[in-house]
Structure 1
């Protein structure tokens, strides 16, 4: 029992640190109407949104951000993308739901 708990915690840490993709995160999906680039839908209070901003800045990836609580355009676009949580990104026409550094970097490098 202790070994199984240890393995579960170790697996969670490896995912959290970004060494492997989260197998429970949904795969990116394609959407029309987005040009090349990165669009971030976020909120000011979201910790994972902050981590996403930091990742994009550290890697020198330009992006456009919409605060879905303050921007009517951002909220409308977010709803059209079936947004249910933040951060939500559209990278070169593909949607990434949640903080997934491996997917963000892979899509942004295309």
Structure 2
């Protein structure tokens, strides 16, 4: 039973390592280098990235976009933010992973 618990704990730590690392060493606020309200880390083929762009355009939210497959700088920042899927969105220093309309709008209104 002890070995089983150790294996389970090891799997959890490996899967959550980025989040654990970010607690002790938070990722930098890359959004401060841009005048736009949001920074979007995306790909061209991602349907949730497309939804994010459409929401930004619909609501008039200014954003700077990095295509992580084409931009070395964007990919490096994406990795430092934890990677693991697209889109990743920076708004007011907050990192949002994935598309969540209500969270995006709530973060934008905090300005």
> Which residue matches 1:44?
44
Question: How many residues align structurally?
Answer: 82
Rounded Cα–Cα distance in structure 1 between residues aligned with 2:70 and 2:102: 28
Q: How well do the aligned residues superpose, as a CA RMSD in angstroms?
A: 1.7
Pair 1:92 & 2:57 matched: no
Cα gap change, 1:31 to 1:109, in 2 (>3 Å) = farther
The unaligned stretches of length 5 or more in structure 1 are: 1-28
Q: Indicate the structure (1 or 2) with the bigger Cα radius of gyration.
A: 2
Would you tell me which structure has more helix in proportion to its own residues? 2
Residue by residue over 1:22-62, the C-alpha shift from the partner in whole angstroms, topping out at 9 and shown as x without a partner, is xxxxxxx9753332720000000000100000000000000
Higher relative contact order (CA 8 A, sep 6+): 1
Residue by residue over 1:51-88, the C-alpha shift from the partner in whole angstroms, topping out at 9 and shown as x without a partner, is 00000000000000000000000000000001100011
Cα gap change, 1:49 to 1:75, in 2 (>3 Å) = same
The unaligned stretches of length 5 or more in structure 2 are: 1-22
